[in-house]
Amino acid sequence: MSKKIEVCLTPALIDLYDIEESIVVVIDILRATSSITYGIDNGAEAIIPVANVEDCLAYADKGFLLAAERNGEVVAGYDFGNSPFSYTKEKIGGKTVVLTTTNGTKALHLAQKRAYQVVIGSFLNLDSLCDYLKAQNKNVLLLCAGWKDQFNLEDTLFAGAVVENLRKSFEHYDDSSVAAEDLYALAKADLRKYLHKSSHSHRLAQLNIEEDVVFCLQLNICKTIPVLEGEKLVRLKP
């Protein structure tokens, strides 16, 4: 079978794609899918993505860790925020974490409605993810979570990194795959420097999360692929 890879630049465009027989890779580099990858890799039992702080509250008193931020600050009474540095073995090993992430949760839920499978991508697990996708006999849609339904650079760059890796194993490039791959080729020598041009990055700079950004742009420090099962993201069994 000739397998197809496509890039959906924002969740607002997902209805344009046939994904019933596809693996959808959800991408929200700063910071949801990076923190999820790191957390599952560090032994979290599960991570439950929710869209907002109110949804997170519904999970209080269940023994879960609650992660919620507003304007870059941990919400009072919550265990931690969205920084990947909170997702270490010591903090989340064996635990279930409820993570508040607007763009990432929206993308995950939209994909889950129709896709064959929904997995999580980030620079942290790039090669493991690509090896997995190559080994499956399925089409792939790379779904950028974007920012409030808008295109963003960091998610597109990661999609481009995947396209670059998979180009020999997949066919039928769409225009957005071509663009993503070319942008990644421009940026990959210094992803952080490239992202300084980004509006989202400027916004993030104001939130004082520079260390998180640098962390999220590391390649292949994790081998785990989180997969969505029901409402929970868990480790994909090899």
Site string for its own copies, 99-138 (x = CB under 8 A): ----------------------------------------
Q: Interaction with its own copies in 2-21: which residues (CB under 8 A)? A: 9-10, 12-13, 16
- The answer to whether residue 151 forms part of the interface with its own copies (CB under 8 A) is yes
The footprint of its own copies on this chain (CB under 8 A) covers a number of residues equal to: 27
Which of 173, 188, 207, 232 is the binder for its own copies (CB under 8 A)?
173
Q: Minimum Å distance from CB 33 to its own copies?
A: 17
3-state SS string over the chain?
CCCEEEEECCHHHHHHCCCCCEEEEEECCCCHHHHHHHHHHCCCCEEEEECCHHHHHCCCCCCCEEECEECCEECCCCCECCCHHHCCHHHHCCCEEEEECHHHHHHHHHHHHHCCEEEEECHHHHHHHHHHHHHCCCEEEEEECCECCECCHHHHHHHHHHHHHHCCCCECCCHHHHHHHHHHHHHHHHHHHHHCCCHHHHHHHHCCCHHHHHHHCCCCCCCCCEEEECCEEEECCC
Binding its own copies (rule: CB under 8 A), the pick from 22, 33, 198, 224 is 198
Residue 219 binds its own copies, judged by CB under 8 A: no
Q: Which residues bind its own copies (CB under 8 A)?
A: 9-10, 12-13, 16, 147-153, 156, 172-176, 178-179, 182-183, 186, 197-200
